[in-house]
Amino acid sequence: MKSGKMYAIDAKMPARRQVFWRYVVMEKMIKMIRGYQMNKYHTILWDVDGTLLDFKKSQEHALHAAFGQFGLVLTPQMLVRYDEINDGFWKRLERGEVDKQTLLTGRFLQLFAEFAIQGVAVNMLQETYQKELGSVYFYLDDSYALCQSLSGRFRQFIVTNGVAATQRGKLRLAGFDAIMEELFISEEIGSVKPERQFFDACFAKIKGFAREGTLIVGDSLTSDMKGGANAGIDTCWYNPNGVKNDTDTAITYEIRHLWDIKKILGER
């Protein structure tokens, strides 16, 4: 029975019932204490592409749509090569070797040069591609249901290097904008993962932020894991394919399936 005090016992109860209810109350309090002890983390920073959402599927859709609008046919060979070029440009961005605009157009310029494609306005094609990229989404490991199940018990934020308009568009469509407290996007922050400045800027915007209770979850060793290490927070590498860690970045946890995060968080 509840009164003004938590789990108060009615003094008018028979003695035996009072003993029983005291036992019940003690059990509940013990479970609550254990729960608090198990929940080492209270704040989760989620990466988007390759973690919550299947970027490869969205990328393929967007490329086919953009190429089609410019009278081009995207072959399987072009798709594979674009993926390689694009990944290379994003890693160069992470290392500070290129800026965002160079990345956005440079990947298509390199692809077109290699496949002898001419007469295409690269800026217009790239804008079409980004628009298409933000119009579709595909969940990984039922990620929406996972984040929804953690809502209310954990503070959740997005940390992404993606293009702002694209990321906000697909996160809204996928429903994540309603779950997350805030979306931190490198283009708006003014620096990128894995730079310490990016994370410092994010942390400054989180009321009551504490490093010791924060965990970043992502699929990229060079962006998410290195970024988390640079920022002084614990890291969880989402590695569904069991790829070998060939970097010198120390990782706190590694998971194969997104829902494995619940064990780390002390959730059932």
Name 215's bridge partners.
44, 234
Residue identified by tokens 């640079």 is: 230
Q: How many other CB atoms sit within 10 Å of the CB of residue 201?
A: 16
The C-alpha atoms of residue 122 and residue 140 are separated, in whole angstroms, by 31
Do 193 and 186 form a contact (C-beta atoms < 8 A)?
Answer: yes
Q: Which helix (H) or strand (E) holds 254?
A: strand 253-255
DSSP annotation of 259? G
Helix 100-114 × helix 122-133 angle, to 10°: 110
10 assigned to active site:
no
The C-alpha atoms of residue 88 and residue 157 are separated, in whole angstroms, by 26
- Of 10, 47, 54, 200, catalytic: 47
Please identify every residue annotated as catalytic: 47
